[in-house]
Chains A and B, each alone.
Chain A
Amino acid sequence: MSTATTSGRRRGGTTPAASGYLFVAPFMVVFLAMLVVPLAYAAYLSLFQDRLIGGTVFAGLDNYTRALGDDRLLEGVLRVARFFLFQVPIMLVVSLLAALAIDSGLLRLSKVFRLGIFLPYAVPSVVAALMWGYLYGPDFGPFAQLAEKVGAAVPPFLSDSWMLGSMANIVTWEFTGYNMIILYAALRAIPGELYEAAAVDGAGPWRTAWSIKIPAVRPALLLCLIFSVIGSFQLFAEPNLLQRLAPSVIDSAYTPNLYAYTLAFTGQEVNYAAAVSFLLGLVIIVASYAVLFVAGRRSRS
């Protein structure tokens, strides 16, 4: 930053182009140092192999071929894809309903309601996972104790078949409010004339919601969807923390990010972990594009 400043001054700093660069300089410096350089370094690392015997050797695309044939990675990707397919629709529908409810003006305490739904987003995801982990506890968790009191079977939240659903619940709890705010902001941006026109045409509140509001927030919905694709495929904090509670259910390759992390920090296979991360990035790009493509075709038809 400081170099940019001095060089700008030397030139007089008055030309429009120079001042433009100056304005973006703080961002660019952080962007380069924190994103581009590490990415480039990871890409570089992914082309080598650092072995206990033989040291570091250039491996070309070997790490990538290994990753493509790695069943544990594939399993993890399929698992988060499944997670995405059932968790995201539920979360977005709930967010949309909440946003419509607040926007309808029919709620008495709409501000309290809005804040209440948004609050979980302000809780760090690590804390959220720890909290839910406690709630899910098979012995001391409140749900288990409640079930015991009424004589029902303790719901096996942390079992193999329930785990993905339990995690979906945590993520939904955390991010519904966030998505709701985005959708609500989009709703507020709809010009009032549209509502007036709808009213003149005789549309009731349900009809207005269906034919005016929902089509109008489609771009915002799409944005939420893309964020959710990225979030789902990068699932890490929740499985990482729940792993301690259910080590035999969540293994080190439960999600692709967890796998990359374990490769790098347990197996010391930093190079392979870099390749796995890049492949995961690729998967996310493809998935995001697929979502855009599908959504775009729908809106045209």
Chain B
Amino acid sequence: MIRFQRSTGRSRALHTTALFLAATLALAACGGGGDAADTPQSAPATSQADIDKAMTTPTELTFWTWVPNIQKEVDLFQKKYPAIKVKVVNAGQGEPQYTKLRTALKAGTGAPDAVQIEFQYIPTFSITDSLLDLRPYLSAGLKDKFVDWTWKQVSGTGGQVWGIPQDTGPMGMLYRKDIFDKHGITPPKTWDEFAASARKLHAADPKVSMTNLASNQAGVWMGLLWQAGGKPFMTTAADSVKVNLNDDTAKKLGTYWGDLLKDGSVSADPDFTDQWYQALNRGQYATWLTAAWGPVFLSGSAKSTSGKWRAAPLPQWDASKQVSGNWGGSTTAVVKGSKNAIAAAKLAEFLNTDPESTKMFATEQFLFPATKALLADPEFVQQKPAFFGGQTVNQVFSGISDTVDTEFQWPPFLDQAVNDWDETVGKSFANKSDPNAALDQWQSRTTDYAKNQGFKVNQ
């Protein structure tokens, strides 16, 4: 669900997923000044005695999250720590929740103890010094339980841990086997094959597009850029950020997609709209380049196409190397200033590492796991949903998760970056104008913003 909110929601922020962490690090380092001071090296661990004391003292925690029915997992936590009562609040999905969180933080009252933060938003909140570095509270060896790239996403430049990964969205390709078969297309292994198939398909049936590259979905662009090895944002020091939105990698993508959009073999309808759902149901898109949460989402929203879909990894730029990016996914973070920091940190840790709780997320809420254990769990990866003709879809995405590049970073000002993407690059998709000119525009707008915010940009 998480996945889908982000995507559904108002779309912008949502799509973008998890990258944030990396940026965070950097940021943290830069950390809005204040942060920089307390980040270096590792913070002293809290003693086990302190933790035991905190976990047996009657405490009430407030936890903001939009995961549906998360009470079930929270109940497991409360069973283990009967002294801690957790009040679960749904403060909105994605952006609306962040707005409320910012307001509460500014007001100095009303902020929760623990909060759901998407990967891509971690640097945006860590730079304002709103998140607590969890290192002193976490059990040893926690890092190794998570897929490498997810841990990188929650880590700050100074080594801080800003949140515990909850779910992820490594990107793959869902395709309509029936459409492919009808036109003699095999699932493309490379982007060149993908483009050739797209043109072949378009020539044979102009009503069907090879895929839909949504003009309102910065998250997909970031995911595809991530796959291509792009480094759009890099936080190099506490007060410095590198912005490379129109470098060669980005322009390679711009040219590639611009051509396909121009000749009509790829469409650019806004996603998660009525029109888009209809098109999926009517078979107007032969593929959906989406995240690991996509399969479950699709089986709920395109029921009439059951059995016709299959999953595969994304086409590759370099046929000899399997790589992917990520779109979506969340973490559980602790708000700086929480009076119950230990209990809140333990809640974040428990929910996302306890075997029973993590499995429940995967089977009840259909979150795509962030832990290595679950991604290797036969019960999870061997599921054979009828919607995908009995294919072990989770296995496909579990394999993809291992190929996600670990170094991708998010900017410390995600809202602005995504808003500007919508109005430049996204707009060029919709208008079939030159995406590379739009990338230049995005670069200049983002650079201006960063400078106005006091960053040293590209120095």
Contacts and interface: CB of A to CB of B under 8 A. Distances in A.
A52 B413 contact: yes
A266 B430 contact: no
B149 to A, nearest CB: 26
A51 B452 contact: yes
A266 B102 CA distance: 12
B56 interface: no
B415 interface: yes
Contact of B419 (A54, A139, A252, A272): A252
Interface string B232-253: 0000001100000000000000
Interface in B427-442: 427, 429-431
B127 interface: yes
B419 A52 contact: no
Contacts of B99: 265
B392 interface: no
Contacts of A55: 32-33
Contacts of B128: 52
Interface string A207-225: 0000000000000000000
A52 B453 contact: yes
B427 A52 contact: no
A110 B449 CA distance: 57
A294 interface: no
Given A53-B453, A262-B419, A247 B413 contact: no
Contacts of A52: 32, 127-128, 412-413, 453-455
Interface string A231-263: 000000000000010011001100000000010
A247 B416 contact: no
Contact of A267 (B419, B423, B455): B419
A267 B239 contact: no
**Chain A interface size range:** 20 to 34
A269 interface: yes
Interface string A63-90: 0001000000000000000000000000
Given A53-B32, A139-B275, A140-B274, A247 B454 contact: no
B430 A248 contact: yes
Contact of B454 (A54, A139, A262, A266): A54
B416 A267 contact: yes
Contacts of B426: 247-248
A140 B449 CA distance: 39
B275 A51 contact: no
Contact of A53 (B30, B102, B415, B419): B30
Given A52-B454, A266-B415, A248 B431 contact: yes
Contacts of B188: none
B426 to A, nearest CB: 7
B192 interface: no
A54 B238 CA distance: 11
B216 interface: yes
A51 B430 contact: no
Nearest to B424: A251
Interface of A: 49, 51-55, 66, 139-140, 244, 247-248, 251-252, 262, 265-269, 272
26 contacts: A49-B452, A51-B452, A52-B412, A52-B454, A53-B30, A53-B238, A53-B454, A53-B455, A54-B239, A55-B32, A66-B452, A139-B274, A139-B275, A247-B216, A247-B270, A248-B427, A248-B429, A251-B422, A251-B427, A252-B419, A265-B99, A266-B419, A267-B449, A268-B102, A268-B413, A268-B416
